[in-house]
Structure 1
Amino acid sequence: MNNKRSMATALAVVALIGLGSLALNGRELPFAAEAQPAGKPAGEADHGHAEGKGQGGDAEEGSHEEEGQLALTTQQIDAAGIELATAAPRLMSTSISFAGEIRFDEDRTSHVVPRVAGIVEQVKVELGDSVKKGQVLAVIASQQITDLRSELEAAQRRTELARLTLQREKKLWEDRISAEQDYLLARQAYQEADISLANARQKLNAIGANLKAAAGNRYELIAPFDSVVVEKHLGIGEVVSESTAAFTLSDLTRVWATFGVTPKDLKQVVVGRAVKVSAPDLGAQVDGRVSYVGSLLGEQTRAASVRVVLANPDGAWRPGLFVSIDVTAQQGTAQVALPEAAVQTVEDKPSVFVRNDEGFQVQTVTLGRREGGYVEILQGLDAGTPVAAAGSFILKSELGKSSAEHAH
């Protein structure tokens, strides 16, 4: 009986172990099938996976071939406001750029100084005021003016007395009452007195003083031409001398754009050559011509001084402003040129959007000269090709945020 129970127990244990083994094998099958398909050796399974990778690589290459293509209909292009331009030949100039500065026109700038010593009584203008020719800038009380005016008055009286004496002696001589010698001496005295009078007047004229006796000891500083007060070094009660720099006046309706040119570029920069002066800070540009090229080189810069005279009716070109000066060197025909608005920077490269049947395709180009809002295309584009001009930045933004970040 005990043997029968022992046999039954052993059979039950064996059966349980067999069922557990079957259950475990059933759980492992799906993973085994995913790792290696049935009926294929492991090598073939790996080979198939490698082929899958190869196909994925080809697909990726195909997607790269599609990069830069923007599919847009004609209606979408019109709605976006994108305008087309055709690449075409254009006459363009080669230019050389220099860094320059706006300065006062020294031919129309004056350092006004008093020509006599004295004390300032009045200052009639302020810094920045516009003045007219002959306008009084300041009034100075001067002892020197008093002395010169006294000398003038004395000369006037001597001349008048000499004139009367001459008239009397002439009458006496004609009536044969006095000798001719007396008449000649009287005439000589009158001439000497007249010379002294003219000399006294010239002294006052030389310093710009008023000849009228009512002016007293007042000396007036006068504006020599229509200008603007750009410097003022004068105050009421201040003692001044003949060397005191009282005012600096400049006619700002005309200024100079100056720059330096090294010897290697001097052949390209000659008097009369057309230039473009631009101020990035102002967003302004003006045309001009070289009016002067220095004959000497600077001791420190080893460059010749060059200037361009610019009209400045609105006063926008202020002295001290840094500018860029493009000097036209030579002219030639660019085989392919486009408006500058057609060129965008895509992945740090200058590119254009070429119109095709599907929309637009990005095309990298090589740039050349720039002039008048146009840019020369040296490589990457043929004449007659239509490209996006105005609104091309919209196409650039459509390439995606990542491309835009690379462009910046």
Structure 2
Amino acid sequence: MKKTFRILTVGLSVAVFGFVGFKVLSPAAKTGLAKTPDQRTRMAEGRAEPDEHGADRVFISDAKLAAGGVALGAAGSAVLSETLHLNGILRANQESVVQVTPRFPGVVRDIRKRIGDAVVKGDQLASIESNQSLTAYDLKAPISGTIIERQISLGEYASEQKPAFVVADLSTIWVDLSVYRHDFKRVRIGDEVLIDPDDGGENIKATISYVSPVGASDTQTALARAVLTNPDGRLRPGLFVTARLVLAKRNAPVAVRVGAIQTLESKTIVFVREGDKIEARPVLIGESDAQHAEVKSGLSEGERYVAENSFVAKAEMYKGGAAGE
């Protein structure tokens, strides 16, 4: 009987203290009180929670975003372009290509330049011993440029019937684009075109300067050409490129980068930066082009969002959701 009385007494004490407001802290709450503000921030980082609108958001620091290569942008107006995709190839500007042919046939006694060498007009390319006079004469560069072909070797017979060198001024390059017959009426001289050399750099803006009046029987296409400046040698003849011919333009009041758009739980979302949180904001997307997408609702002008490497924010959101379960 004494043991039973003591147990009942303890239970009564707990009940009384609970009635007057005594609070028993959970282990998690005790841990939170034991930490400094910075430590509590680090504990919260990476945990997902819903905001007042029901959108998921996760705590993540600027340092962690930077480490993941995430770049932020501000939602704002952008010009969207309706474009026609074309394939093409880079070629040396044939108006700046010269074949260097020996004046007299003879034996090649000396070669001064190789393929890829830069030359200045008047530079000696080779020395040839004439069959007629048995004296050597110099073969010189007629223009400044780059040696792109060499068709003679030391000691061989050089003929005036065959070019010994080909010199090209590569400061300008042709890009020849293939246009299919159902698109002929959409391509005109003066149209803007964006060239992608597929080298990781920015697209190159140019204009169509020539449209061929005849087609190619083997490809059933016609040629459209743009001339590109090439001061740093970025463009190399023989390489394939893609292009977007600009057909029409319109302004979108609020737009984001195309790479910012993600899908989360069957919703189209953009990751928005709010203080120290990233929010998965549902948005309604309108028209888009290769660079920007119009946002019809869900995002306001000036709001900061994850513009590049948004998959990093998506991964953090999934991790945060798993941690909160």
**Number of the residue aligned with 2:260:** 342
**Number of the residue aligned with 2:130:** 142
Change (3 A) 1:265 1:112: same
TM-score scaled by length of structure 1: 0.56
1:69–1:359 Cα contact (<8 Å) kept: no
Q: Which runs of 4+ in 1 moved over 6 A?
A: 355-359
Q: Quick one: which of 90, 96, 100 aligns to 1:112?
A: 100
Q: Quick one: which of 160, 167, 191 aligns to 1:273?
A: 191
Q: Distance in 1 between matches of 2:169 and 2:182?
A: 35
**Number of the residue aligned with 2:203:** 285
**Number of the residue aligned with 1:103:** 91
**Number of the residue aligned with 2:225:** 307
1:232 paired to 2:232:
no
AA aligned opposite 1:369:
S
Task: Write 1 or 2 for the structure with the bigger share of strand.
Answer: 2
Q: Distance in 1 between matches of 2:244 and 2:205?
A: 10
**Number of the residue aligned with 1:389:** 306
**Number of the residue aligned with 2:279:** 360
2:273–2:306 Cα contact (<8 Å) kept: no
**Number of the residue aligned with 2:5:** none
Q: Give the secondary-structure state (helix, strand or coil) at the position aligned to 2:209.
A: strand
Report how far residue 335 of structure 1 moved: 4.8
Change (3 A) 1:133 1:78: closer
AA aligned opposite 1:389:
V
Change (3 A) 1:366 1:136: same
Q: Distance in 2 between matches of 1:133 and 1:238?
A: 25
Q: Quick one: which of 87, 109, 130 aligns to 2:118?
A: 130
Q: Deviations over 1:85-124 (max 9, x none)?
A: 34x5433322222122111111111222223222212212
Q: Quick one: which of 72, 76, 81 aligns to 1:93?
A: 81
**Number of the residue aligned with 1:259:** 177
Change (3 A) 1:295 1:336: same
Q: Distance in 2 between matches of 1:109 and 1:318?
A: 14
Q: Distance in 2 between matches of 1:258 and 1:305?
A: 6
Q: Give the secondary-structure state (helix, strand or coil) at the position aligned to 2:153.
A: coil
2:114–2:147 Cα contact (<8 Å) kept: yes
Q: Deviations over 1:162-187 (max 9, x none)?
A: xxxxxxxxxxxxxxxxxxxxxxxxxx
**Number of the residue aligned with 1:375:** 293
Q: Distance in 2 between matches of 1:220 and 1:133?
A: 13
Aligned residues: 267
2:192–2:205 Cα contact (<8 Å) kept: yes
Larger Rg: 1
**Number of the residue aligned with 2:168:** 250
Gaps of 5+ in 1: 1-63, 147-215, 404-408
Report how far residue 225 of structure 1 moved: 0.4
Change (3 A) 1:343 1:118: same
Alignment of 1:35-184 (within 5 A): 69-72=55-58, 83=72, 85-86=74-75, 88-144=76-132, 146=133
Q: Distance in 1 between matches of 2:110 and 2:280?
A: 75
Change (3 A) 1:347 1:136: farther
1:354–1:385 Cα contact (<8 Å) kept: no
2:256–2:292 Cα contact (<8 Å) kept: yes
Gaps of 5+ in 2: 1-49, 66-70
Q: Distance in 1 between matches of 2:320 and 2:164?
A: 63
RMSD: 3.7
1:254–1:312 Cα contact (<8 Å) kept: yes
Q: Distance in 1 between matches of 2:101 and 2:61?
A: 68
Change (3 A) 1:286 1:359: closer
Report how far residue 311 of structure 1 moved: 1.1
1:352–1:365 Cα contact (<8 Å) kept: no
Q: Distance in 1 between matches of 2:273 and 2:286?
A: 19
Q: Distance in 1 between matches of 2:235 and 2:63?
A: 41
